[in-house]
Homo-oligomer: A and B are copies of this chain.
Amino acid sequence: MSEDIVTPFRSHPHNHQRCVADAMALAEERCGRRGVRLTPIRRRVLELIWGRHEPVKAYDLLDQLREDHRGAAPPTVYRALDFLLEQGLIHRIESLNAYIGCGDPSHPHLGQFLICDRCNAVAEMDDSDIRDLLARKAATQGFHVNWQTIEINGVCPSCRAVPESVSAGDDSD
């Protein structure tokens, strides 16, 4: 099976509490096995990221973090983010300067993202056909691939079902 939707659009009906809890449990387990520490701050940041099922900005995290953690500063958040990225627990979306929970930390993989321009929902794919095709094309140029950034912008299924002018992404926050 080459196609593998690791994280579907959040509009996809699901038990969100359960999904966050699962992610946290996986993170605990993974860090334990690796002998690295999922400290309170790191855990909190991961929770905050999973809490929204969409890309989250570092300074938004900082604001939220400050609510129960006075004295949190940019380095507080960025250090936690670096840790979580290293452990493969989150991904960074380059085109948005934002971070999102990794749908399947069980094996290391490159993020392949579908990003809805209307409602900001993001789905993560882990498709070997894509990975392999890019590797093959790069090899044609004599290029050795270390990392692939794939971010596809467009309109997600839910938003397509809604007339443009009244789209779900018409957020007034």
Q: Which B residue sits closest to A155, measured CB to CB?
A: B144
Specify which of B8, B125, B147, B160 is in contact with A154 (CB 8 Å cutoff). Answer: B147
> How many monomers of this chain does the complex have?
2
Q: How many residues of A contact B (CB 8 A)?
A: 37
Specify which of B134, B140, B155 is in contact with A146 (CB 8 Å cutoff). Answer: B155
Decide if A150 touches B138 in the complex (CB within 8 Å). no
Q: Is A1 an interface residue (CB 8 A)?
A: no
Specify the main secondary structure of chain A where it touches its partner. Answer: mixed
Decide if A149 touches B150 in the complex (CB within 8 Å). yes
Q: Give bound CA distance, A143 to B8, whole Å.
A: 11
Decide if A154 touches B138 in the complex (CB within 8 Å). yes
Q: How far is the CB of A164 from chain B (nearest CB, A)?
A: 11
Q: Is A104 an interface residue (CB 8 A)?
A: no
Q: Give bound CA distance, A155 to B144, whole Å.
A: 5
Residues of B within 8 A of A142 (CB): 156-157, 160
Within 8 A of B (CB), among A107-158: 114, 116-117, 123, 125, 127, 129-130, 133-134, 137-138, 140-157
**Contact residues of A with B, CB < 8 Å?**
3, 5, 8-9, 94-95, 114, 116-117, 123, 125, 127, 129-130, 133-134, 137-138, 140-157, 160
